[in-house]
Structure 1
Amino acid sequence: MSLQVVTANRLDDGLAVFMTADEGWSTDIRQAICAGDAEQAEALLARANTQKQQITVVGPYLIDVANEDGVLVPIKYREILRTLGPSVRPDLGYQAG
């Protein structure tokens, strides 16, 4: 099994966010809490699917990540795009700022 983190969309602005160790949410995947096995991953997902979390985010799910030189990076292209923002408008999203 690869490493996994929980991602979702923040309700107030729709941005992709990642669950942090304190059960908060960050737009920076480098701050995400990472699961190393299936049991840890399911526990993280359960923590993300509570009623308390549903006030902040929608649609949490697990994604595969790789640890490249100590930095978590998504493996699938879809998730790479979610961490960068819109690909058709480089003046928008995370890459703009």
Structure 2
Amino acid sequence: MKIVAANRLTDGETVWLGAGDRWVETIDAAHVAQDTEDEARIAAAGSAALAANIVIDVTLVDVEIAEGRILPKRLRERIRAGGPSIHPEIGKQARKAAQHAA
């Protein structure tokens, strides 16, 4: 299972490709590709957004579903989902919806 992560070009915010190929700010709203065909489709959508200067650092991220939530397998991506690790009251981890990720 994979999702697409990127950083929005206008403000650097970590975003994920969600339903309808829209960029969303929480990992729980990301579209999870279940097969290689869907992975190729979301990778192409990420590449198109990169070419259109909407996002940068487009990455396919390996994930698993744990207790109904999307959990990246790599620590780097878990940190990106939670926000800066400098203080729990700053960034995505300060939002209730993201507290599970970091």
TM-score range, shorter chain: 0.7 to 0.9
1:53-90 CA distance string (max 9 Å, x none) = 63321121100111112221111110000011111232
Give the structure 2 partner of residue 70 of structure 1. Answer: 68
Matched-pair contact (CA < 8 Å) for 2:50–2:58: no
Amino acid at match of 1:20: G
Aligned length: 95
CA-CA distance at 1:51 after TM superposition: 5.3
Are 2:95 and 1:85 aligned?
A: no
**Which letter does structure 1 place at the counterpart of 2:32?**
C
Aligned-pair identity (%)? 34
TM-score by length of structure 2 reads 0.82
In the alignment, the residues of structure 1 paired with residue 2 and residue 12 of structure 2 have an alpha-carbon distance, to the nearest angstrom, of: 21
Residue of 20, 44, 54 corresponding to 2:18:
20
Tell me the CA shift for residue 29 of structure 1: 0.8
Q: Which runs of 5+ in 1 are unaligned?
A: none
Q: Look up the match of 2:35.
A: 37
- Larger RCO (alpha carbons 8 Å, 6+ apart): 1
**Counterpart-to-counterpart distance in 1, 2:92 and 2:16:** 14
Stretches (4+) displaced over 6 A: none
- Residue matched to 2:56: 58
Which structure has the highest helix share of the two? 2
**Does the CA-based 8 Å contact 2:3-2:33 persist in structure 1?**
yes
